[in-house]
Structure 1
Amino acid sequence: MTAIRTTPLHSDYVVQVHAFIPDLLDDAAAIAELKAQWQRTPVMVFRRQSLDEHELVRFTAHFGTCETTVRKDIQSPYHPEIIYFSTLKYHDGRFVGGFAGGEDVDWHSDQTFQVRPATGAILYGTEVPRDGGDIYWSNQYGAWDLLPDDVRALIDGRTGVYRYAKRYAMLNTAELKDKEKANALLSLPDARHPVVLTHPRTGRKALYADQTTLVEIEGLTPEQNARVLPILFAAGGDPALVYRHKVHNGDVMMWDNGCVLHRRDQMYLTQPRLMKRTTFRVPAAEHCLPHA
């Protein structure tokens, strides 16, 4: 197969991949090329795709071990590896999936409150609204580079404490308000991850400071935490590092949670939306992970 063509969308970390995913599923050389590309550019966008759920799961599995969510209320009834984000409703009034409307929780990385967060995520837009819901990514390699030298010296090698309760307080009213599910997540023990991750292949360092869950950095005094955390959060969302993507029907977006943050614009329940997402884990030898 000839080399897969890509077009940069923002600096060196976001590209559009000019390929039709079903054509790649049985092409080992093409998949190897995409995996190498993903290490260089942690956000990849495939436009105008037409995938069934089996193909979405197969494509995800080429990159790592697919995760099955514990959230049965937002899970696909056909493939447990897929969750739905939607404004659509079943006949009985239940939403088809979760996170249906309102504001996002601002810049975040998925599952940082868990002991072993998933590394990669793939989001497929099957029904995309005309207005609202634009998705943003922010380059955390760049965030590390923006930090003052004294802050980098202070945090490198240290461990952060990440807590779900902080994120829960930011959730919109269409999110997780079921008491049983909320209590299960709120009872999770704090997760501890390095606040700086190093890519094992490239040696590049990325800031890992999710403002929706990071509550403190171990070894720093309360005064140091109060000074440093706002600096980390500001660097993480610095406008120079941000790519804004206007999502269209058929867009497949893939990103690395270890070295980018993401968020979305406000969603309106009056506009139809159905997004399908998979998450997956990769070996520590291949990507910068917050765990061994």
Structure 2
Amino acid sequence: MSDIATELKVRALHSDFAIEIDERIDEIMNDADAIDQIRQLWQTSPLIIFPRQCLEEADQVRFTGMFGKCETANRKDIQSPYHEEIIYFSTLRYADGRFVGGFAGGDDVDWHSDQTFIGRPATGAILYGVEVPKGGGDIYWADQYAAWESLPADIQALVEGRTGTFHYAKRFAILNAPELKNTEQGKKMAALPPVQHPVVLTHPVTGRKALYADPTTLVSIDGLSEEENARVLPILFKAGGNPAFVYRHKVRNGDLMFWDNGCTMHRRDEMSVDQPRLMKRTTFRLSADAHCVPH
């Protein structure tokens, strides 16, 4: 094993759920042993922060591809003009008034997991903060392993092994991005059909179970009565966002955040839209034999 891999500077941010690796990504990408060590750490720490990076878009795409199949972005309106795998989150505008990226609103964002509204979610995600607000906009991640373990035994017995119905229309009503309002694309996304996913995922390596109950898209648990759903869903949603299981990150320019949507949820604080913001996200498909992947 190389010197870089044996000397990775790792520190815990929140139990074993969130860690920081203080290394330059452009250097460790060239060390196979270092990348393998990160893969192993990610098995038990589904949120990794790499502080203060300086990356070209090609570097972000390359780094993403080392952990799973990097997706082509499905939102063409906010896609990078240079790399189709990257989308922009931004308050910036082009000269003609169009937003450079999406999700420019300053309101706070509710707890959610990415892509729960499609049949085959790409659960791996990387978000790179090129320019971030000085005030507000902090990002939070919630440990869904701990959320599952905190549930009462009767609730666990009731929902384990069941699938849930997830629908984008629910998210569209809650997190309606400004650039989608009153647009044909917005209407198409709101009309996406519901999909089914398990509400409990099991990590194939560690055996730990994670709650998979996105409050912005999960509308019901299959096989439960309307009354049971009305009782159980609020319990799951409360457990998913339990403050005891949350790591709060004050994002700084250059921070790269790397997480697994199969066993985490995330949200952000309100921020000022008057402050410049540009963040670049890639998503990637994880192997079902090494990660919590909804089938």
Q: Which band: TM-score by shorter chain?
A: over 0.9
**Contiguous gaps of at least 5 residues in structure 2:** none
Question: What is the rounded CA distance, in whole Å, between the counterparts of 1:225 and 1:245 in structure 2?
Answer: 33
Q: 1:195 aligns with which of 192, 199, 203?
A: 199
> Is residue 9 of structure 1 aligned with residue 9 of structure 2?
no
Give matches, 1:211-230, under 5 Å.
211-230=215-234
1:122 is paired with a residue whose SS is strand
Which whole-Å deviations, capped at 9, do the CAs of 1:125-167 have from their partners, x for residues lacking one?
0101100110000000000011000000000000000000000
Question: What is the rounded CA distance, in whole Å, between the counterparts of 1:173 and 1:112 in structure 2?
Answer: 17
**Partner AA of 2:246 in structure 1:** V
Identical counterparts, % of pairs? 64
> Is residue 129 of structure 1 aligned with residue 125 of structure 2?
no
Question: What is the rounded CA distance, in whole Å, between the counterparts of 2:110 and 2:175 in structure 1?
Answer: 10
**Contiguous gaps of at least 5 residues in structure 1:** none
Query: TM-score scaled to structure 2, two decimals?
Result: 0.97
**Partner AA of 1:237 in structure 2:** G
Q: 1:94 aligns with which of 89, 93, 98?
A: 98
1:107 is paired with a residue whose SS is strand
Give matches, 1:9-88, under 5 Å.
9-88=13-92
CA RMSD of aligned residues (A): 1.0
**Partner AA of 1:24 in structure 2:** I
Q: How far off is 1:186 after superposition?
A: 2.0
Question: What is the rounded CA distance, in whole Å, between the counterparts of 1:198 and 1:153 in structure 2?
Answer: 15
2:178 is paired with a residue whose SS is coil
Larger displacement relative to structure 2 (2-11 or 133-142):
2-11
Moved over 3 A (4+): none
Q: How far off is 1:76 after superposition?
A: 0.3
> Is residue 249 of structure 1 aligned with residue 253 of structure 2?
yes
- The aligned counterpart of 2:163 is 159
- The aligned counterpart of 1:258 is 262
- How many residue pairs match? The answer is 291
Question: What is the rounded CA distance, in whole Å, between the counterparts of 1:10 and 1:227 in structure 2?
Answer: 31
Question: What is the rounded CA distance, in whole Å, between the counterparts of 2:19 and 2:10 in structure 1?
Answer: 6
**Is the Cα contact below 8 Å between 1:84 and 1:98 reproduced in 2?**
yes
**Is the Cα contact below 8 Å between 1:100 and 1:267 reproduced in 2?**
no
Larger displacement relative to structure 2 (109-118 or 171-180):
171-180
